[in-house]
Structure 1
Amino acid sequence: MAERKEQVKPLAPAAYRIDYIKNEDEALSMELKKYRHKKYIKCCGCIAALCLIQVVIILVLIFTVFHIKNPKMRINSIRFEGLSNLSNRSANVTLIASVSIKNPNVASFKFSNATTTVYYHGEMVGEARSPAGHVKARRTLRTNVTVDIEIKKMKAIPGLTSDLSDETLEMSAYSRISGRVKITSLIKKDAVVKMNCTMTVNVRNQQIQDQRCRPHVSI
């Protein structure tokens, strides 16, 4: 039986094979470029989203936790010592004020020397300076301020004799504290806390009969 002759498929021309391989390489290269482009876009999108989230978080912190609030000052009590002997030349009169400084911020409030001035009939009769210090975050600092009254200045003011006969003195006290709240190098605020008090003092018992205080904060 005669052997069957197998038909042999002729090979494609060499030029066609080269073009086919080249087209496959170009198609693969285009696919790789598209894949890299999509991956690059996704990566840029993720980075942009993370940056946006960080910006939103920073803004929320700035307007909530890192929002700097004004410190507050309060005069808890004021008392005088030596007023009953005011008519004596050698009398020593002292004003003692209990002052509270409240810091509602997440960072400490550092302040320089505090000044307290006492007035009688609009004339300054005493002044004292308190040392610099700081109030811890979300804490309240209580301190006593002592002011020595200058008797000579008080006696030189007209009306003292009649006030002593009525056993009441109209006086005022002014306190001023300047400081800074600093959370970061970019988030900080300078503040000046002021307190102006007017009072009616009973000479006999050296107690405050009427006291009106007005706080003020300037930035």
Structure 2
Amino acid sequence: MAEKMNQQVHPFAQVNKQPRSDEESGTLTSDQELRRKKRIKLAIYIAAFAVFQTIVILVFALTVMRVKTPEVRLGTDVTFQNFKTGTQASPSFDLSFTTQVGVKNSNFGPYKFDSTIATFMYEGVTVGQVTIPKGKAGLRSTKKVTVTVNVNSNALQSTTSLGSELGAGVLTLNSQAKLSGKVELMFVMKKKKSAEMNCTMAIEVSTKAVQSMNCE
């Protein structure tokens, strides 16, 4: 009996509780779902960035890198130094005036053009010419070149139309020119562009002033 009492009593060892298989499955599923959502967000961000980059490139190509043809126009500010006209019965003209030729460049790069000749005509006949010197129109700006023009009716074979115009008090002249040059973009790309001028100037004889100026 004593021998039994002397025996040491050992408590039962606590058994470690193992997670159930359904709990493990639930944890794994939650982690997988979280990773899946992160991958979806990352894919959305990448797609949005790609779309943004595409839009930027398209806008850049359609605006900055697009080369437009410069415009050449005869200025409306005309100052006459010499103004001689005949009568309806004896029609003639001999004029000298100063004006400006404007070269408008709408590109995101300078337009360098060579010198050229501007021709002034009456009824298709050349009555005067002037040289437009070479120059450069800066990016998105207008280069104005001052020229002095001399025109006369000496080359006209017939003055019938001129007599009618002088009788009506208006002298009509047409001016044409073609500029050849290059547009430079981003300091590396050069594109050849030609600009043409075709203007019709109506001069009022009585006031010795330009009545109208139409350019195409």
Rate the CA distance shift 1:111–1:165 in 2: closer, same or farther, 3 A.
Answer: same
Inter-partner Cα distance in structure 1 for 2:133 and 2:124:
26
Residue 129 (1) aligns with residue 161 (2): no
Q: Which runs of 5+ in 2 are unaligned?
A: 1-49
C-alpha displacement of 1:157: 3.2
Residue in structure 1 matched with residue 68 of structure 2 by the alignment: 69
Aligned counterpart, 2:204: 202
Q: Which residue of 1 aligns with 2:105?
A: 103
Indicate conservation of the 8 Å contact 1:93/1:151, yes or no: no
User: What is the TM-score when the length of structure 2 is the normalising length?
Assistant: 0.61
Give me the identity figure in percent.
28
Segment drifting more, 166-175 vs 110-119: 166-175
Q: How much is the aligned-residue C-alpha RMSD, in angstroms?
A: 3.0
Q: Which amino acid aligns with 1:115?
A: I
* 186-195 or 105-114, larger mean C-alpha shift: 186-195
Is the 2:109–2:186 Cα contact (8 Å) retained in structure 1?
no
> What is the rounded CA distance, in whole Å, between the counterparts of 2:188 and 2:136 in structure 1?
20
Shift of the 196–149 alpha-carbon distance from structure 1 to 2, 3 Å rule, reads same
Question: For residue 10 of structure 1, what is the aligned residue in structure 2?
Answer: none
SS of 1:209's partner is strand
CA distance in 1, matches of 2:121, 2:169: 18
Give the CA deviation at 1:82. Answer: 2.4
Alignment-mate amino acid for residue 82 of structure 2: G
Structure 1 residue 196: Cα displacement: 1.1
Which residue of structure 2 lines up, in the alignment, with residue 158 of structure 1?
Answer: 159
Query: 8 Å contact 1:181–1:189 — kept in the other structure?
Result: yes
Task: Rate the CA distance shift 1:134–1:197 in 2: closer, same or farther, 3 A.
Answer: same
**Match for residue 138 of structure 1?**
140
Amino acid at match of 1:135: A
Contact 2:65–2:185 (CA<8 Å) still a contact in 1?
yes
The 1:64/1:213 distance shift into structure 2, 3 A limit, reads closer
Deviation of residue 178 (structure 1)? 1.5
Secondary structure (helix, strand or coil) at the match of 1:173 reads strand
C-alpha displacement of 1:171: 1.8
1:212 aligns with 214
Cα pair 1:73 1:99 within 8 Å, conserved: yes
Superposed CA deviations along residues 22-60 of structure 1, whole A, max 9, x for unmatched, are xxxxxxxxxxxxxxxxxxxxxxxxxxxxxx99x957665
Structure 1: which amino acid aligns with 2:101?
A: V
Matches within 5 A, 1:39-58: none
1:77 and 1:99 in contact (8 A); partners too: no
- Any conservation in 2 of the 1:116–1:147 contact (CA below 8 Å)? no
* Amino acid in the other structure paired with 2:64: V
2:180 match: 178
TM-score by length of 1: 0.60
Aligned partner of 2:199: which letter? C
